[in-house]
Amino acid sequence: MNFISRFFTSDHWAHPFTITEPILPSNPAKPGNPANPTDLATKPLNPANPTDPAKSIEIGGGKKTIAVMMAVFTGVPTGGVLAVPFFFLFASLMKSLEIYQIKAKNLTGTPGKHQTIPRPNPSPSPGPDPSPSPGVGLPLPPVNGVQVGITNLANTCWLNASMKLMATTTFWDPILEMPTTTPQQADLQKVLKKYITRMRTAEGGVIKKKDAQRLEQEVNKLIKDDPMVGGQMDAAEFFLCLHRVFQYPSEVELNPDSPSKNFYQSTVVYDSVDPDFYHVPNAETADPLIKIAVPYAEALGNAPLDPVTLLKKIDTRTYREDEQNDKAPQINYTTKHYPLNLPETLNLNFSRIVGVEDEQGRQKFDASGQMEQVRCNRPLALDSNGHFELIEYDRAKIELDDSGQWVLHPRKKCVYELTGAIIHGGSDKDGHYTAVERAPNGKFFYHNDQSVTELDTSEAIKRCENNGVMLRFKRIKDITLTDEEVKEIRLKDLAG
């Protein structure tokens, strides 16, 4: 429903700040009756009324203020005659913005100019998966590693590192091979394909200034035409912009009910401290790039960070028992993410820039009004080979136990190996981007603009652990779990 159509509904005039039309379907579970795994909700429901997601969503205070202020500004010149209709019109517009933000997903999470929300993909057309298979029509990454450097045009280290990450995997090849529908897509795809092919086939050399400028020009168009980017890019946003411009992956591939095996998907489990309340697990939309972050309270520590714990994204959320009643009690839930679909390639965007908070947990600002930030320098905890393990859970086996806790059943253990990373050295305000590649022959290479040098394994993994902001892993082994291991994992999950 668009904001003009909603403006003329009686329900909108009765509840100007409450979204009552359905956003996403759900089939919630009840005690003793597990949720249908094919209908796991993708939007949190009202714990007091989990069968009706529409009544649980109210727009935020900031959007309410905008609607009121815009009504005042438009009403004053007309002596207040147009204030009321404009108030309800702007309230409808704020509802549409709220719905858009619910359906979208913020992958970078970096404050300031880098705050981006991908546009939702258009509805898929019926038929087979539209994305071509990786590697078709393009040379594969070289067995001995990419040996081609790229000239830095004073401030394009982020682009050079992104191109190296793209050239050393077939993960983004569908973007380079899919049919284009706009001139921008066609021009950008042509130049990307040219340089990716060169990096995969040439035995050495450097992409010199003139050619690097051609690449930069097309990517600058990508930035200019993207309203979500504030004139500045980083490595993660480069890939987010590519996904938006090419509408890749498609909505079919990211469908939370039947995601592509190529992309990571998790479910959010809600545990209430009050056994009288429960919240249906939400199947997240599948992601090509998984954002992980560290809370400010933990960012200044020194101990290594466990990737498994980061992917769980443990948090506390509060929901009012009755969203329509301001005096209704608020219920606290501890939320955790558990993998439902573990892909062959796992891309992690580690947000190392963290907003500074005061004693009440509120964002702090400096004298000029800018958000205060710090850099999280805690290393990731990988083993000596750059490996870590993840448990994949069975989406068909999510149920409530007798105590009212959600129980997930582990399916298998998957071992992931580090195969590449974008490195950021510096502070929260500036720095330099480079890349690390593990070639198919097992050797590591360090890409620093024009320079390509070999690294020993321990040094390469150390650099990725300490300064990696985008890390790529390959699933190298699936391990069948014994009954005893399944029991141990379930007990550990229940214990938190």
What is the per-residue pLDDT across 475-490, written as a single tens digit (0 to 9) for each?
999 999 999 999 999 8
Structural domain includes residue 464 = yes
Work out whether strand 282-283 and strand 149-150 pair parallel, antiparallel, or are unpaired: unpaired
Same domain, 263 and 380: yes
Structural domain includes residue 251 = no
Radius of gyration of the chain (CA): 24
Residue 466, domain extent: 259-495
Query: What is the C-alpha separation between 117 and 233, in angstroms, rounded?
Result: 14
Q: Which residue has the tokens 């904001």?
A: 3
Q: What angle do CA 480, 486, 490 make, to 5 degrees?
A: 145
Q: Does residue 186 sit in helix, strand or coil?
A: helix
Same domain, 421 and 473: yes
Q: Which pLDDT belongs to residue 333?
A: 85
Blockwise average pLDDT, block size 10, the chain, 496 residues: 70 78 46 40 40 56 76 75 80 73 42 32 34 61 97 92 96 93 90 95 94 89 60 72 88 87 93 76 90 90 94 85 76 90 96 89 89 92 96 90 84 97 86 95 97 97 96 97 93 81
Same domain, 349 and 374: yes
Query: What is the C-alpha separation between 177 and 459, in angstroms, rounded?
Result: 35
Same domain, 99 and 120: no
Same domain, 74 and 137: no
Residues in the chain: 496
Same domain, 168 and 229: yes
Same domain, 166 and 268: no
Point out the domain boundary residue: 73, 103, 133.
Answer: 103
CB 305 within 8 A of CB 380: yes
CA distances in angstroms from 387 to 31, 242, 255, 364, listed in the order given: 39, 28, 29, 37
CB 432 within 8 A of CB 440: no
CB 354 within 8 A of CB 108: no
Structural domain includes residue 228 = yes
CB 334 within 8 A of CB 496: yes
Number of domains in the chain: 3
Same domain, 194 and 343: no
- N-to-C CA span, the chain: 41
Structural domain includes residue 375 = yes
- The model carries a pTM of 0.72
Point out the domain boundary residue: 216, 245, 274.
Answer: 245
- From the DSSP assignment, how many helices (H) and strands (E) are in the chain? 14, 18
Structural domain includes residue 111 = no
Instruction: Kindly report the CATH number assigned to the domain that includes residue 334.
Output: 3.90.70.10
Same domain, 465 and 403: yes
CA dihedral 207→442→339→357, nearest 10 degrees, is -60
Same domain, 353 and 326: yes
What is the sign of the dihedral through the CA atoms of 159, 165, 170 and 172?
Answer: negative
Q: Which pLDDT belongs to residue 224?
A: 67
Q: Which pLDDT belongs to residue 66?
A: 80
Point out the domain boundary residue: 43, 77, 103.
Answer: 103
Same domain, 94 and 123: no
Structural domain includes residue 282 = yes
Question: For residue 90, which phi and psi values (nearest 5 degrees)?
Answer: -70, -35
Q: Which pLDDT belongs to residue 129?
A: 34
Q: What angle do CA 392, 399, 477 make, to 5 degrees?
A: 10
Q: Phi-psi bin for 80: left (phi > 0), alpha (psi -120 to 50), beta?
A: left
Look up residue 225 and give its two tokens. Answer: 């035409």
CB 465 within 8 A of CB 352: no
Same domain, 489 and 370: yes
> Minimal CA–CA distance to 242: which of 158, 311, 185, 321?
185
Which DSSP letter does residue 447 get?
E
